[in-house]
Amino acid sequence: MHEEATITMHAPAEKIWALVSDVTRIGEFSPETFEAEWLGGAVGPVVGARFRGHVRRNEIGPTYWTPCTVLISEPHREFTFGVGAADNPLTRWGYQIEPCADGDGVDVTETFEFTSALWARPYWVLFGTLRGRRIRNDMRRTLEQMKAVVEA
């Protein structure tokens, strides 16, 4: 399962990167993840850094902490992290930052990818359509709120 949302922002890629890669600010933007913190002495987005997110599924619950690992950290271009086990994440979330083809702004794409864990497939078969729609809508909300901050 793969979902994504893209929005054009009129701000420098450096400013956008600083925002999307600062996991401690996600609670300002995400409808589900209301806080996050770096773990094990990590203080920023380097490959292998660990953090945990505090999630309230569908904004109502259940509420839980989830471990995350930075998988890709390319300043001003891409920030991607895995959720779950560091060596075999259940899901991947990321942000890609690219100049618009027409030169007017920066396209920011948030992505979600469900990996191939066999035990979770029944969930995605039964609820994948609804969950996918929710994820797309939440990604758009997140990006729109980030846009408001970087364009202010």
User: pLDDT at position 60, please?
Assistant: 84
Read off the DSSP letter of residue 29. T
User: pLDDT at position 125, please?
Assistant: 60
User: Does residue 97 contact residue 17 with C-beta atoms inside 8 Å?
Assistant: yes
Residue closest to 110 by CA, chosen among 10, 37, 16, 46: 16
Instruction: State if pTM tops 0.75.
Output: yes
- Cα-based distances in Å from 51 to 45, 74, 86, 108: 10, 18, 11, 22
User: pLDDT at position 40, please?
Assistant: 95
Place of tokens 């271009």: 77
User: pLDDT at position 120, please?
Assistant: 61
User: pLDDT at position 89, please?
Assistant: 92
Place of tokens 């929005």: 7
SS3 for 51?
strand
Place of tokens 């599924």: 57
Read off the DSSP letter of residue 32. S
In the chain, what are the domain boundaries? Answer: 2-151
User: Does residue 24 contact residue 34 with C-beta atoms inside 8 Å?
Assistant: no
Domain 2-151: CATH class, spelled out: alpha beta
**φ, ψ of residue 55 in degrees (nearest 5):** -115, 140
User: pLDDT at position 126, please?
Assistant: 61
Element (H or E) spanning 139, and its range? helix 121-151
Divide the 152 residues of the chain into consecutive groups of 10 and give the mean pLDDT of each group: 93 96 96 95 96 90 93 98 92 95 93 74 64 87 97 96
